[in-house]
Structure 1
């Protein structure tokens, strides 16, 4: 039995339309989401980075013919274009930012979930690389399925090169986000993501997926991935050790907050002068150049 193909939408689709498809199928392809200048910029900026790193040495998951690099907000200005894309951000907000009402004393108030950047990754799958084991990305938090009444992650894979069935286009099992945790994924249930450079796959953390096999002899599959996660979950990539203060300060304020320089969702505050302060206040101080600069001495 052939698995159903992923639905394709155009960039003028609304976030609501994309979310409806994602919650039905587990993912959606947005054709032509990014223009040629963005994909060319990503390729020009990140190819030298990936040329300078070794392949993975894990035959099972990381792959022995696959190159990866993170910390992409410091490596290409076009990472901001991806993260700030209105359709992707709108989808992430609709799926993730579902508040719950909590009591503060006798008053019931909405407590927003929020989102933050869980990680960034440039990935080149080389010729001869086998398929990655199918997996769910939300497994890093021991997420249960079905359960919790919400999703943990909304992820995007931008095609920097064309994605084909032959060069390792991401494998996805449509509908697998609805499975419980007793059902194992099978490769014959997965379909390859086939899309032109500039298109993107958006999917959720509960959907089984994995890098496809590259059966070509001379073609790399080049993709860029990032995830928006629930703000109260620990991100996979540690932004505090990945980026320096100058790199953070160059980003839009929305991304500063979403790289966890924020306590707007009641986690992540820092004590300054005896007060629980928002880290964003530190970024705006000229005298703040490191974790200790301008802060009171600790005893």
Structure 2
């Protein structure tokens, strides 16, 4: 699943390609992707004539800001946006096409069909599901050390489970949680309320640093992620533990091991990330 750096890379790429284009029509080939309004005809009607003014992001969600409408889109496992000329054939996995007045099309492809799209009157998107359920992301000024530490002190869950909880911090997924915990020298099975203030500070900084580096590298290509121009992310070259089981830790030489924590495959260096503090 694309995580915050991948979605941010898509946002930045699409802004270069589609800003100020005006929608002439919308084609929907898989109705289940459209969540609000659920009627594809109504969805199309809301968007016709709208000009795309900006593209924002909250957590793993893209927010397309039109004149009067906000389109909230989640890519889920395999969703991808791309800009094409209107004359090109439609691939079988293209499920939504936004036709622009200049003869180009923004196409949404999704092999698994898990992606979602919601429309709201502009300015209302943050007051309703799904965005209202999200906590701040690691770049948000609201994601303060005090906020983070208070959240940790209120739960007996594993620290990895808390970091994956989008209501606590939005945008982090399995790859970047493993990497941030490694950089902070914290074991993913540590109990959140037992994390010290100093450790929380270290983890907050490690999360932001990991995400920042990943954004600069265009995200991580695991399986099938591509940005809006069909380019792969390169942060996989910087990964320290994720997907590195049975290879030696670059810092201490101890083999990386793979565990299951909170039902997720988890990568850890037993030496650098002791289970007790």
Q: TM-score, normalised by structure 1?
A: 0.24
Q: Which has the higher helix share?
A: 2
